Structure 1
């Protein structure tokens, strides 16, 4: 990554809703940031260039190779799942978890991942989530359907719905910092964006 890259270059492949949070001043250089399920690292160049202490995890070794090819300066890269993160409690100021949680295998697995993310996040810290939901597609993807669900686009995903969102807020020590946003993609899927803040212990 060139030191001469502009912010536009650094943010070129970043999730647009994460860019929104960056422009709002949510993230402060020097803070500890975890990308949980980083893949090839598309959301990380801006944070690395702006002096954040970045840690990245993914359970896919090939994805981590791509990450390190793009950002070889990263020192804290771990191959692990969200449920088996090797970090102490309250390690991170912020966590990014984009397009990851909808690979949960059940309600119990999803809640376990949420609790694991809560454990390593500092009190007052934020968790950015982007995942499949049924918001705007409640008839096609009813809450009563077995998880994961078959989406109209042919993929199987764990789908966030209102009852599970309520359970998160009641059981995990998170609160919403902004209203949930959802994006419908041609009636094929609905992607929800959440920004949660850790308010206390589970």
Structure 2
């Protein structure tokens, strides 16, 4: 398969990181909340050690139907991952963390991801945010929030991001990027790097 075919369904902002050379063949990648595996095809075919988790058994069946060579696949939630500290060079967590049920739940997931990431490793996140929609989705609103598109999501806002950076050993590896979708929702892309153990 060509790289274009392998990247066909990959998150465009993850493709950006791939093209920047963020990931090196042989490294250990975790897709935390992999779903059907849309972000994994390129890594599997380019010599990475790939581990995938999801709490949805049907999604994992779809993943293994597409990528039967994967041997490290686990049905579990982010808060119950069975991995030793500093197991992974990089973690992908795309369109997952906005299913947190509260600020505490979100912070627990961030701490769990931090624990299993190697020092110097990166965490790629895509999730709902209020960046660019601060008036429609104020920080004072109860979480999860009802978005204009009709979905309920845990919405990242600046003060929670500040709390994450202060309470964990994460730092921003790049400025936060935010995409507004027709006034319906805002999706933030974060590339965090583990710079200290907690």
Give the TM interval when normalised to the shorter protein: over 0.9
Aligned partners of 1:49, 1:14: CA distance in 2, in Å? 14
Query: Where does 1:33-44 land on structure 2 (aligned, <5 Å)?
Result: 33-44=29-40
Offset from partner CA, 1:145-192 (integer Å, 9 cap, x none) = 000000000000000000001001111110001000000000000000
Aligned length: 198
Q: Report what 1:173 is aligned to.
A: 169
Aligned partners of 1:185, 1:61: CA distance in 2, in Å? 30
TM-score by length of 1: 0.98
Q: Report what 1:71 is aligned to.
A: 67
Aligned partners of 1:78, 1:154: CA distance in 2, in Å? 31
Does residue 121 in structure 1 map to residue 120 in structure 2? no
What's the CA shift for 1:85?
0.3
TM-score by length of 2: 1.00
Aligned partners of 1:11, 1:110: CA distance in 2, in Å? 29
Aligned partners of 1:193, 1:69: CA distance in 2, in Å? 29
What's the secondary structure of 2:122's corresponding residue? strand
Q: Report what 1:50 is aligned to.
A: 46
Q: Report what 1:136 is aligned to.
A: 132
Gaps of 5+ in 1: none
Q: Report what 1:91 is aligned to.
A: 87
What's the secondary structure of 2:196's corresponding residue? coil
Offset from partner CA, 1:106-164 (integer Å, 9 cap, x none) = 00000000000000000000000000000000000000000000000000000000000
Q: Report what 2:179 is aligned to.
A: 183
What's the secondary structure of 2:44's corresponding residue? helix
Aligned to 1:150, which of 103, 125, 146? 146
Gaps of 5+ in 2: none
